[in-house]
């Protein structure tokens, strides 16, 4: 049995600000989608020690439960998640993400010239066993050269300069390189085609290079203030300085590859890292190395106002992201489309995190 991290500390539901008033219906619907994964034994336990197998009783009940409050209070007990092992006052942090909706074409035209790519055949996953000597341990993907050896995959600048051109990997073309870049950041998109059809692209793989936040670069260089460096501010800067766009985007060497997927339910987001569709305002991305997908986490971020109220919500860990690192770190899936994007781009708020642990695990915590 995996040891529980000392970052967890016992709490009671009465310790969770706003718990009694919270609308838990969306969280229950989202948890039900993860329940099937728990019951199939398809969830890996993260390094914080939240055993996936311990969720089986709650998963069985969730599929038939109608009362969200009764379900969560019966199946789980809360535990505070410390943001730092050395700083008791440290708080967690929330950002937001969304699913863009843009116009696109399945063929290259004079207007649609900026492609989204499927994974190339020479891109391979690597781990601690297969990773070649000299390749940074951060990399989970590499390039298989013609001689069979593995090497670092070319970065964003090389790919945008034509490294993949002519291989037939283009899924769709967009009319704006900035839209393509933000789709890379978000990891998925809904594409509206000229014939009226709508398709979705979702994350399939990446080059492996570390992610660099271009907003942070603009702040560091005095181009934007921290308050201005939300999505609207970054897009405004890119529109004001078109000759500097390519150089700035290429600073983020990470490059994402996609797969095509249908839009089956307009109310849900894409199928994400936990292999279930995301539920707007109920799914979060977490550090997948630490957390166990499907874990309910109550977030108290009173300074964040979404949907007209302070953000005190129960969320379900169902996705991950390169920049989402640490035990008390969450990226909130706000939804799809332009307005969701504007809201998501403004989320940069501290918060307190409480994991809802299956009762058997909670009993193992120090009082």
Express each pLDDT in 114-138 by its tens digit: 999 999 999 999 988 888 888 888 8
Q: Is there a single domain that holds both residue 175 and residue 251?
A: yes
Q: In angstroms, rounded to a whole number, what is the distance separating the alpha carbons of residues 216 and 221?
A: 9
Q: Which two tokens stand for residue 199?
A: 């398709």
Q: Which is more confident, 328 or 88?
A: 328
Number of domains in the chain: 2
For the stretch 299-351, pLDDT in tens is 999 999 988 899 999 999 999 988 899 999 999 999 999 999 999 999 999 99
Domain end among 262, 278, 310: 262
Domain end among 262, 290, 307: 262
Contact call for residues 252 and 156 (beta carbons, < 8 A): yes
Q: Residue 33 is part of which domain span?
A: 8-98+268-362
Contact call for residues 54 and 358 (beta carbons, < 8 A): yes
Identify the CATH number of the domain in which residue 57 sits. 2.40.40.10
Q: Is there a single domain that holds both residue 132 and residue 278?
A: no
For the stretch 157-183, pLDDT in tens is 999 999 999 999 999 999 999 999 999
Q: Which two tokens stand for residue 69?
A: 């409050």
Contact call for residues 61 and 73 (beta carbons, < 8 A): no
For the stretch 238-291, pLDDT in tens is 999 999 999 999 999 999 999 998 888 889 999 999 999 999 999 999 999 999
The residues that bridge with 329 in the sheet, in sequence order, are: 93
Q: Is residue 367 part of a domain?
A: no
- DSSP tag of 337: S
Q: Is there a single domain that holds both residue 138 and residue 252?
A: yes
Identify the CATH number of the domain in which residue 258 sits. 2.40.240.50
The residues that bridge with 157 in the sheet, in sequence order, are: none
Give me the helix-helix angle, 68-75 and 25-39, nearest 10°: 50
Q: Is there a single domain that holds both residue 240 and residue 281?
A: no
Look at residue 2 and tell me whether its pLDDT is greater than 80: no
> Which pLDDT belongs to residue 231?
87
């Amino acid at each position: 049995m995996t040891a529980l991290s000392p970052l967890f500390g016992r709490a009671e539901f009465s310790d969770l600000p706003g718990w009694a008033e919270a609308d838990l219906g969306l969280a229950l619907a989202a948890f039900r989608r993860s329940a099937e994964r728990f019951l199939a034994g398809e969830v890996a336990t993260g390094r914080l020690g939240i055993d996936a197998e311990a969720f089986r009783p709650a998963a069985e009940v969730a599929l038939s439960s109608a009362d969200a409050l009764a379900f969560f209070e019966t199946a789980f007990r809360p535990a505070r998640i410390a943001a730092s092992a050395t700083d008791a006052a440290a708080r967690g942090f929330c950002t937001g993400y969304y699913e863009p909706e843009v116009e696109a074409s399945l063929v290259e035209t004079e207007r649609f010239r900026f492609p989204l790519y499927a994974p190339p055949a020479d891109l391979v996953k690597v781990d601690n066993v297969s990773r070649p000597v000299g390749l940074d341990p951060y990399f989970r993907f590499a390039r298989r050269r013609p001689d069979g050896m593995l090497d670092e995959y070319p970065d964003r600048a090389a790919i945008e300069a034509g490294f993949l051109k002519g291989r037939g990997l283009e899924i769709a073309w967009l009319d704006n390189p900035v839209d393509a870049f933000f789709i890379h950041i978000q990891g998925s998109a809904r594409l509206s085609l000229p014939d009226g059809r709508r398709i979705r692209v979702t994350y399939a793989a990446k080059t492996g290079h570390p992610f660099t936040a271009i907003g942070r670069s603009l702040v560091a260089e005095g181009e934007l203030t921290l308050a201005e460096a939300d999505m609207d501010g970054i897009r405004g800067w890119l529109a004001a300085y078109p000759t500097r766009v390519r150089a700035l985007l290429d600073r983020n060497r990470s490059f994402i590859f996609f797969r095509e997927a249908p839009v089956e339910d307009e109310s849900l987001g894409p199928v994400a890292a936990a292999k279930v569709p995301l539920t707007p305002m109920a799914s979060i991305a977490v550090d997948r190395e630490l957390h166990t997908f499907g874990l309910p986490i109550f977030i108290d971020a009173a300074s964040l106002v979404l949907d007209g109220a302070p953000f005190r919500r129960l969320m379900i860990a169902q996705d991950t992201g390169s920049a989402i690192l640490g035990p008390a770190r969450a990226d909130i899936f706000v939804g799809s489309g332009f307005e969701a994007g504007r809201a998501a781009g403004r989320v940069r708020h501290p918060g307190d995190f409480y994991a809802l642990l299956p009762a058997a695990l909670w009993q193992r915590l120090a009082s």
